[in-house]
């Protein structure tokens, strides 16, 4: 059995573009740039809400097995991820402020 060495593996992947963190993961640095309190609150709600709801939907999807029939394969998984993204955005707009109030107060105390 031939097991590739780390140099062989890294040489294979050297042709791929480098990975950049998704926008949601870099939003904490964007919170620092916001100047108006209303904009800060909106950015905070969007970041916390979308992160929370995205993780929740992902965990919910993992509890359900793939169906025996009518599974769309990799394409369904890709579009399901996009659907989860849209759902998390809508859920954030609808109800994120309800559970981010205590978090925002703690964040505001740390900035003061």
Per-residue pLDDT tens for 33-55?
656 778 888 898 999 999 999 99
In a domain, 4, yes or no: no
Q: For residue 43, how many other CB atoms are within 10 A of its CB?
A: 17
- pTM, whole model, 2 decimals? 0.61
C-beta separation of 50 from 89 below 8 A: yes
In a domain, 63, yes or no: yes
The share of the chain scoring above pLDDT 90, in percent, equals 29
In a domain, 76, yes or no: yes
Give the span between the Cα atoms of 105 and 103, in whole angstroms.
5
Give the span between the Cα atoms of 71 and 77, in whole angstroms.
9
Domain that holds residue 38: 22-111
In a domain, 77, yes or no: yes
Closest CA to 84 of 43, 45, 44, 50: 50
In a domain, 56, yes or no: yes
C-beta separation of 22 from 49 below 8 A: no
Give the span between the Cα atoms of 102 and 112, in whole angstroms.
16
Identify the pLDDT of residue 40. 87
Low-confidence ranges of the chain (pLDDT < 70): 1-35
- Count: domains in the chain: 1
In a domain, 102, yes or no: yes
């Amino acid at each position: 059995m031939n097991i590739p060495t780390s140099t062989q593996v890294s040489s294979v992947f050297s042709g791929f573009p480098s990975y950049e963190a998704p926008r949601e993961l870099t939003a904490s640095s964007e919170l620092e740039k916001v100047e108006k309190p209303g904009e800060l609150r909106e950015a905070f709600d969007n970041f916390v809400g979308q992160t929370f709801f995205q993780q929740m939907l992902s965990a919910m999807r993992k509890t359900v097995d793939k169906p025996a029939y009518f599974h769309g394969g990799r394409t369904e998984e890709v579009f399901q991820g996009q659907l989860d993204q849209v759902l998390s955005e809508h859920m954030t707009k609808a109800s994120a402020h309800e559970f981010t109030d205590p978090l925002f107060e703690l964040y505001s105390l740390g900035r003061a």
